[in-house]
A = this chain, B = another copy of it.
């Protein structure tokens, strides 16, 4: 059972993991370097635990101590109880869900490992908005994608905002980072995957016509909101697919486009009579 410690000094070094959470640049450097990430809110903390991530500590406001009692009882990591005001002072924002946990990262699987075990892969290029990245993971989890491969310039799925928006899906969908982009896509192709690139370009085949749910192994490549896939990534794909659009709309939001495409490549997307 974890020990509860009340802290009332915002400079207490035991709260170091929770400082300046809104300083994106600082946290981007600090968290991977320290091997930690922040899980926020009851549900997300529980899912991180269930996924087996070791806990370094929790920082709770008093009203969350009872809610998290079973987690506290099942953990050995220290639990720091702080006032809402202190939580705000340390983190830099009003912690709406007054439960934060500092969790330990684990080594990522290798891309080869994920490729070997998967039939449906999402491959993301340059998705560096944490909200979009989290939302794409949520869709990937819900719609049964087996794994996610990230280009080197994708954002960190364990960044607090990505974790939160994903509702913890970043813990359940395994992911790996490709070292050389787009060259490492060759390993995907070598494993027998058809590599489909999602693009609004007119030359692309409508998604339904490509009937990707019939493919034995399918990797679906998505770019960032706005810019989309780079020419190099498009050139590395086997097939370009598009979601037919109406109403002169620019495009779907990347998370919505991803959900449609994940649905279309999943066995669930196989149409009935």
Contacts and interface: CB of A to CB of B under 8 A. Distances in A.
Interface of A: 135, 138-139, 141-144, 167, 169, 172-173, 206-211, 213, 243-253, 255-260, 263-264, 266, 268-273
A270 B211 contact: no
A167 B249 contact: yes
A256 B138 contact: yes
Given A138-B256, A141-B249, 20 more contacts: A135-B253, A138-B252, A142-B251, A142-B252, A144-B244, A144-B246, A206-B268, A208-B268, A208-B269, A211-B272, A213-B271, A243-B268, A244-B268, A253-B255, A255-B255, A255-B256, A256-B258, A259-B259, A263-B264, A269-B271
A268 B257 CA distance: 14
Q: Which of A172, A209, A256, A268 has the most CB of B within 10 A?
A: A256
A164 to B, nearest CB: 12
A244 B264 CA distance: 12
A264 B261 CA distance: 11
Contacts of A256: 135, 138-139, 142, 255-256, 258-259
Contacts of A259: 252, 256-257, 259-260
